[in-house]
Structure 1
Amino acid sequence: MSSATSRPVSGRQARWQPHNDSRRERIVVSAIELLEQAPVGVEVPIMQIAEHAGLAKSVVYRQFAGRDELDRRIRREISDRFVADIEDALDIADGSIHSILVRTIGAVVTWIEDHPRLHEFLRTGPSEEGSEVDAMNALIATIAASTRALVTGLAGVVGVADDGSVDTMTFAIVSMTEATVTRWAGDPAPLLSREQLIEEVASYAWHVVDGVARRHGLTLDPEQQLVEIITQFAAPN
């Protein structure tokens, strides 16, 4: 199913494009707001989305070719919000390795706790047309790729060649974190508190990072500022 925005546009259509973009955004935001309030497993009707957006149902169908396209666009917006929150937390310029891990894992816990319905919706289908991968797995791959690029860049600074272990390491940490936090969030009586969970998962992630670093001849201090570690290894002997 092709997107309305992917078709060639005439001059008249181009003049209306900002207006149509605004309406699409309004529809998607309204759908997400309603989705947050809906019971688990309950689909929000297009009529309800249109009413919440202050638009006629026919306008929704003019902006999106059908329910599948609208749902893909909703999942893409949810994914973008999730990624933005995680990347804000994953700031290598601020903190030690341990504090960065705790902060980033804390952001994952907060997002899943605060948006359980959106998190669930990511598993209901893809965010891109033609994809067979659901939006949650695509999101995990996106965050892992972003983290991999960051770690690979740091490895290059300290003179360590990437032998492929960075790819495995980052995907393992990201997928482990999402799966563990999801299980915890869905448990009506979890054994660990929120703070205990974050510290526990951060310790797992640290052991993975430390193991990979040692195999490359690097000894890291989890409590040292990451910027200091990079400067130390990058300094000429």
Structure 2
Amino acid sequence: MSGRQARWQPHNDSRRERIVLSAVELIEQAPAGVEVPIVQIAENAGLAKSVVYRQFAGRDELDRRIRSEIADRFVADIDDALDIGDGSIREILVRTVGGVVTWIEEHPRLHEFLRTGPSETDPDVDAMSALIGTIAASTRALVTGLAGVVGVTDDGSADTMTFAIVSMTEATVTRWANDPNPVLTREQLIEEVASYAWHVVDGVARRHGLTLDPDQQLVEIISQLATGAG
């Protein structure tokens, strides 16, 4: 990058961010299935349409960047719910599933847009699959950490289990949110999906010789298991 390009980079980064945030705002407000045109995104950002095309190679690149922004917001909200320092396994599962339900309820158009193609991080993988993988990886770190304190070697179960739970949760909540006459209430859905997740966790734990109490504080479980392992 030349010196001139380097001087302009912060300015260009700022414009790119304005464009992406403008697009996210308009997508939130748009009716289901309606594409927001670039000229409207530019106007909302207070820029000329030509500026958008100078910052992004085309609509595909802009859409990938928008999906990355949406995915980052989703992950940030779910990461807060996954705080292992606060709550029992059951409470953490209920809180996390509730976080997914709340996000999809409050941002239906963003969730819809996230499912329309890839993000900028991996153009060969659709954005929703990449998002599920990111959340599963975060959850997997907690599971492998728990296994590590008692000397259990990861045999791949953690990877399969966390991906299965996260993908099941997203798909089930999406189906419920898109159903005009859902059988379950919001609270029933959260309890049901959290229950499914717990049974998966419990089954994998028992296969490795661990008996977990879903209503005990998770930090206490980790401490007790670590003491017993020592």
TM range (shorter): over 0.9
Which of 11, 17, 22 lines up with 1:19 in the alignment?
Answer: 11
Aligned to 1:99: 91
For residues 192-213 of structure 1, the C-alpha deviation after alignment (integer angstroms, 9 at most, x for no partner) is: 1111110000000000000011
- Equivalent residue number for residue 6 of structure 1: none
Offset at residue 129 of structure 1 (A):
6.6
2:138 is aligned with 1:146: yes
Kindly provide the amino acid, as one letter, of the partner of residue 162 in structure 1: D
> Bigger CA drift: 147-156 or 70-79?
147-156
Structure 1 partner of 2:110: 118
For the pair 1:191 / 2:183, whether they are aligned, the reply is yes
1:200 lines up with 2:200 in the alignment? no
Contact 2:68 2:121 in 1 (8 A): no
Quote the Cα distance in structure 2 between the aligned partners of 1:130 and 1:191. 37
Superposed, which structure 2 residues align to 1:54-65 within 5 Å?
54-65=46-57
Alpha-carbon distance in 1 for matches of 2:182, 2:203:
29
Aligned counterpart for 2:216 among listed residues 211, 214, 224? 224
- Partner residue, 1:47: 39
SS state at 1:139 partner: helix
Aligned counterparts of 1:86 and 1:99: Cα–Cα separation in 2: 14
% same residue: 85
Q: What RMSD, in angstroms, separates the aligned Cα atoms of the two structures?
A: 1.1
TM-score (norm 1): 0.94
Q: Does 1:210 align with 2:202?
A: yes
Shift of 1:142: 1.2
**Residue correspondences, number:** 229
Distance of 1:47 and 1:120 partners within structure 2: 21
The corresponding residue for 2:127 is 135
C-alpha separation in 2, matches of 1:150 and 1:51: 44
Instruction: Give the superposition deviation at 1:31.
Output: 0.1
CA distance in 2, matches of 1:233, 1:162: 16
Tell me the secondary structure at the aligned position of residue 124 of structure 1.
coil
Stretch moving more, 159-168 or 216-225 = 159-168
Partner of residue 159 from structure 2, selected from 167, 173, 177: 167
Q: Provide the C-alpha distance between the structure 2 equivalents of 1:233 and 1:124, rounded to a whole number of angstroms.
A: 44
3-state SS in 1 of match to 2:104: helix
Q: CA deviation at 1:227?
A: 0.4
In structure 1, the residue matched to 2:150 is 158
By how many angstroms is 1:132 displaced?
Answer: 2.4
Runs of 4+ in 1 over 6 A off after TM superposition: none
| Alignment correspondent of 1:32 | 24
Listed as ranges, the gaps of 5+ residues in structure 1 are: 1-8
How has the CA–CA distance of structure 1 residues 183 and 130 changed in structure 2, closer, same or farther, with 3 Å as cutoff? Answer: closer
Are 2:101 and 2:173, in contact at CA under 8 Å, matched by a contact in 1?
A: yes
1:121 partner amino acid: F
> How far has the Cα of 1:131 moved from its partner?
2.5
Task: Report which stretch shifted further, 138-147 or 173-182.
Answer: 138-147
